[in-house]
């Protein structure tokens, strides 16, 4: 019976992926250092590259969180951008409170938009955000709580597949409309901007850029390790089982509502953290972040990279965003067609994404 | 073994005016192997759905020991010790044979418990034992998706065994099997009964004869006849509605 007792050894494919990941992380980590080299050095990396890569790292965390929900638990969320945006708003509220009397109106407590809109005192939900730990807690709790409520109602009523996708899409759309309203207390369509500092560090400086970059990289590596560890436990296999045959899993005695909810909430929290690190790097958060298009784009990243593999999500997030950055400056009108075309092409020709392609090449070589 | 019996009394299920089950009453004793036959639409699958919590009866009593099954959902009923094998074999294609059985193995079912789970020697032995019982040891690390139809049926039976249920509900286990596979399956089920109660729904009369146990004939949602296979085959009402066709 020894055949049953030993787990199969990790495949060469998996070892190759691990090596590739370590090299990729080291390369990324080198970017802010290369940025310090003199401008005429051949290895100099521009400010633009550093800040754009920092953004992509946040997108990669979002892709990772979506892959956990979609690739493993089968929850095709078309509203994951909402969790990202909520995390971003929570961070934005902290940054706004830190501006203090340095705003254009010079009010000691109220952010500029509140003075402008005639607020006389801070709304109750803004209290506490001046504290960094509190804001960080909210970065995870608010997206997590939303995922808990929406997920509980949907999963308990056994809403799955396309209906669930539409529901999540409606969720992010509704939030976008709500955040556009001035009387919500979140700055309406202008959102938050003009941030001054974070943790005593002035924003917009090269050192702040490097710190935020490394913080994002740490989040990415941490999320990757967490998701990889999680999906390798029996829980990961339960999620796959639910994805492929939910009712069978139920008859095996698994309360699939609880399992899906756990993954969905965890995923929303990761997306919130990604959004929180994104906002200080781009310097603005507005209701546009809730737009359904953003969530759909995130789904395309995961589909392009290859869902249910984690690595694929990272690969997809970086490659599609690199393409976007290049194309939106080279031929801005073509980007949406390219994005749509990419999705169709991947669905038709690469159902397992770029990762599947590597696999196929390896097999072709007989490795 | 606690030895609970399954007890259905006056169970009626109405779907949009159609009576899928009509005042159905049935008792399965602990350790019994019971075959259930009946023409299409007789209510066999609906009966399984009612017992496993998938469908709520419109009226009637469904009890397992002293538990009222009409109030519980599928995972709770599964964890009470009622396992179900579907007509169409449903296994988890992306997982290996070993992993499929590992998921079925009796263990705490919550997310945290599943994260903390690690394979003990005892659990691995049990999985090995189940794989031996259903003849899939050599396929342990193959994904279930590449198994043949018959092997998938056995894997599902193996998953039922790993659940360690008191009562197994088996829906058409030999549909699409070769004669040799059918025989093997009959022997497997007879071997399982005794330690556990088994209810088998089947169309194949030769297979039911091979089981050689008490047979219940369903027709239009109620029990038409009950007894040995020879008794029901000679029952004029059964001949009229089922065997005579």
pLDDT tens, position by position, A156-187: 999 888 999 999 999 999 999 999 998 888 98
Q: Provide the residue range defining the domain that includes A270.
A: 48-364
Please indicate if any CB of chain B lies within 8 Å of the CB of A251.
yes
The interface pTM score, or ipTM, of the predicted complex is 0.81
Among B110, B117, B137, whose Cβ lies nearest the Cβ of A4?
Answer: B137
Mean pLDDT (chain A) is 89
pLDDT value for B148 = 87
pLDDT value for A1 = 40
Among B90, B93, B114, whose Cβ lies nearest the Cβ of A238?
Answer: B114
* Six-digit token string for B245: 């066709």
* Six-digit token string for A195: 């941030």
Report the alpha-carbon distance of residue A244 to residue B161 in Å, rounded. 21
Q: What pLDDT band is residue B1 in, cutting at 50, 70 and 90?
A: very low
The distance of B228 to chain A (nearest Cα, Å) reads 31
Please name the residue that has the structure tokens 């056995």. Answer: B154
DSSP letter for B96, please.
B
Asked if residue A72 belongs to a domain, the reply is yes
Among B79, B103, B124, whose Cβ lies nearest the Cβ of A237?
Answer: B103
Judged against a pLDDT cut of 70, whether residue A137 lies above it is answered with yes
pLDDT value for A365 = 57
Q: A233, B109: Cβ pair inside 8 Å?
A: no
Q: Which of A7-16, A66-75, A255-264 has the lowest mean pLDDT?
A: A7-16
Instruction: Find out whether B66 and A238 touch, Cβ atoms under 8 Å.
Output: no
* Six-digit token string for A70: 């979609």
Which uninterrupted H or E stretch holds B244? none
pLDDT value for A83 = 97
Asked if residue A108 belongs to a domain, the reply is yes
User: What value does the CA radius of gyration of chain B take, rounded to a whole number of Å?
Assistant: 18
Please indicate if any CB of chain A lies within 8 Å of the CB of B29.
no
pLDDT value for A104 = 85
- Model confidence pTM above 0.95: no
Q: Which residue, among B77, B211, B85, B245, has the nearest Cα to B156 in the 3D structure? A: B85
Q: Which chain A residues touch B52 with a CB distance below 8 Å?
A: 251
Top-tier CATH class for B6-243? alpha beta
User: What is the total count of domains within chain A?
Assistant: 1
Angle A68-A70-A75 from CA coordinates, rounded to 5°: 115
* Six-digit token string for A73: 């638990």
Asked if residue A215 belongs to a domain, the reply is yes
Asked if residue A272 belongs to a domain, the reply is yes
Please indicate if any CB of chain A lies within 8 Å of the CB of B206.
no
pLDDT value for A12 = 67
* Six-digit token string for B192: 């399982």
Asked if residue A25 belongs to a domain, the reply is no
- Top pLDDT among A3 and A79 is at A79
pLDDT tens profile A177-220: 999 998 888 988 889 988 988 898 888 888 888 999 999 999 99
pLDDT value for A4 = 42
SS (H, E, C) chain A: CHHHHCCCCCCHHHHHHHHHHHHHHHHHHHHHHHHCCCCCCCCCCCHHHHHHHHHHHHHHHHHHHHHHHHHHCCCCCCCHHHHHHHHHHHHHHHHHHHHHHHCCCCCCCCCHHHHHCCCCCCCHHHCCCCCHHHHHHHHHHHHHHHHHHHHHHHHHCCCCHHHHHHHHHHHHHHHHHHHHCHHHCCCHHHCEECCCEECCEECCCHHHHHHHHHHHHHHHHHHHHHHHHHHHCHHHHHHHHHHHCHHHHHHCCCCHHHHHHHHHHHHHHHHHHHHHHHHHHHCEECHHHHCHHHHHHHHHHHHHHCCCCCHHHHHHHHHHHHHHHHHHHHCHHHHHHHHHHHHHHHHHHCCCHHHHHHHHHHHHCCC
Asked if residue A211 belongs to a domain, the reply is yes
Q: What pLDDT band is residue B121 in, cutting at 50, 70 and 90?
A: confident
B105 to chain A: closest CA residue = A252
Judged against a pLDDT cut of 70, whether residue A310 lies above it is answered with yes
Q: Among residues of chain B, what percentage have pLDDT more than 90? A: 28
The distance of A244 to chain B (nearest Cα, Å) reads 7
Please name the residue that has the structure tokens 């939106």. Answer: A328
pLDDT value for B190 = 84
pLDDT value for B183 = 84
pLDDT value for B220 = 87
pLDDT value for B189 = 83
For chain B, counts of helices (H) and of strands (E)? 10, 10
Report the alpha-carbon distance of residue B123 to residue B125 in Å, rounded. 5
The distance of B140 to chain A (nearest Cα, Å) reads 6
The distance of A206 to chain B (nearest Cα, Å) reads 41
Please indicate if any CB of chain A lies within 8 Å of the CB of B84.
yes
Q: Among residues of chain A, what percentage have pLDDT more than 90? A: 59
Judged against a pLDDT cut of 90, whether residue A282 lies above it is answered with yes
pLDDT value for B193 = 80
pLDDT tens profile A233-260: 999 999 999 999 998 899 888 999 999 9
Q: Which of A249-253, A279-283, A357-361 has the lowest mean pLDDT?
A: A357-361
Q: What pLDDT band is residue A8 in, cutting at 50, 70 and 90?
A: low
Asked if residue A38 belongs to a domain, the reply is no
User: What value does the CA radius of gyration of chain A take, rounded to a whole number of Å?
Assistant: 22
């Amino acid at each position: 019976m020894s055949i049953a007792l030993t787990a199969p050894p990790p495949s060469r494919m998996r070892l190759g992926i691990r090596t590739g990941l370590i090299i990729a992380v080291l390369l990324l980590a080198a970017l802010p250092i290369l940025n310090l080299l003199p401008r005429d050095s051949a290895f100099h990396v521009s400010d633009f590259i550093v800040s754009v890569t920092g953004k992509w790292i946040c997108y990669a965390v979002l892709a990772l969180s979506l892959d956990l929900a979609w690739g493993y638990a089968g929850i095709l969320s078309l509203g994951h951008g909402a969790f990202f945006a909520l995390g971003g708003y929570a961070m934005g509220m902290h940054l706004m409170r830190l501006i203090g009397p340095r705003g254009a109106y010079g009010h000691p407590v109220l952010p500029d938009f509140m003075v402008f809109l005639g607020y006389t005192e801070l709304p109750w939900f803004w209290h506490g955000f001046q504290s960094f730990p509190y804001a960080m807690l909210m970065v995870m709790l608010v997206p997590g709580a939303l995922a808990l409520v929406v997920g509980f109602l949907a999963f308990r009523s056994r809403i799955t597949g396309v209906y669930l996708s539409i529901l999540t899409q409606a969720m992010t759309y509704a939030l976008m409309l709500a955040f556009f309203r001035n009387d919500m207390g979140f700055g309406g369509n202008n959102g938050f901007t003009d941030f001054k500092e974070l943790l005593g560090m002035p924003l917009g400086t090269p050192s702040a850029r490097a710190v935020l970059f490394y913080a994002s990289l740490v989040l990415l590596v941490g999320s990757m390790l967490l998701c990889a560890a999680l999906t390798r436990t029996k829980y990961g296999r339960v999620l796959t089982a639910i994805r492929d045959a939910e009712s069978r899993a139920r008859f095996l005695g698994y309360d699939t509502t609880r399992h899906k909810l756990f993954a969905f909430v965890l995923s929303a929290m990761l997306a919130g953290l990604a959004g929180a690190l994104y906002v200080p790097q781009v310097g603005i958060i507005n209701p546009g972040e809730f737009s359904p298009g953003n969530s759909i784009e995130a789904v395309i990243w995961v589909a392009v990279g290859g869902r249910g593999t984690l690595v694929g999500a990272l690969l997809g997030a970086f490659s599609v965003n690199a393409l976007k950055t290049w194309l939106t400056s080279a031929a801005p009108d073509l980007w949406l067609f390219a994005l749509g075309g990419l999705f169709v092409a991947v669905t038709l020709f690469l159902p397992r994404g770029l990762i599947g392609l590597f696999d196929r090449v390896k097999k072709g070589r007989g490795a | 073994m606690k030895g609970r019996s399954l007890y259905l009394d006056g169970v009626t299920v109405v779907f949009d005016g159609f009576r899928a089950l009509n005042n159905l009453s049935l008792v399965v004793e602990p350790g019994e192997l019971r075959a259930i036959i009946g023409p299409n639409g007789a209510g066999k699958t609906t009966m399984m759905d009612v017992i496993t919590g998938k469908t709520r009866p419109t009226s009637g009593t469904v009890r397992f020991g002293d538990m009222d099954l009409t109030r519980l959902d599928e995972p709770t009923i599964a964890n009470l010790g009622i396992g179900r094998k579907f007509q169409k074999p449903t296994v988890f294609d992306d997982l290996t044979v070993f992993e499929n059985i590992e998921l079925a193995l009796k263990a705490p079912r919550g997310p945290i418990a599943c994260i903390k789970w690690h394979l003990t020697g005892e659990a691995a032995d049990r999985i090995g034992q189940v794989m031996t019982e259903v003849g899939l040891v050599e396929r342990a690390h193959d994904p279930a998706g590449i198994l043949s139809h018959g092997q998938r049926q056995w894997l599902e039976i193996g998953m039922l065994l790993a659940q360690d249920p008191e009562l197994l509900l088996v829906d058409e286990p030999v549909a699409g099997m070769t004669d040799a596979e059918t025989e093997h399956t009959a022997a497997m089920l007879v071997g399982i009964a005794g330690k556990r109660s088994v209810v088998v729904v089947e169309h194949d009369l030769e297979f039911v004869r091979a089981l050689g146990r008490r047979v219940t004939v369903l027709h239009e949602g109620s029990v038409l006849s009950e007894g040995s296979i020879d008794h029901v085959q000679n029952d004029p009402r059964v001949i009229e509605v089922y065997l005579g066709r």
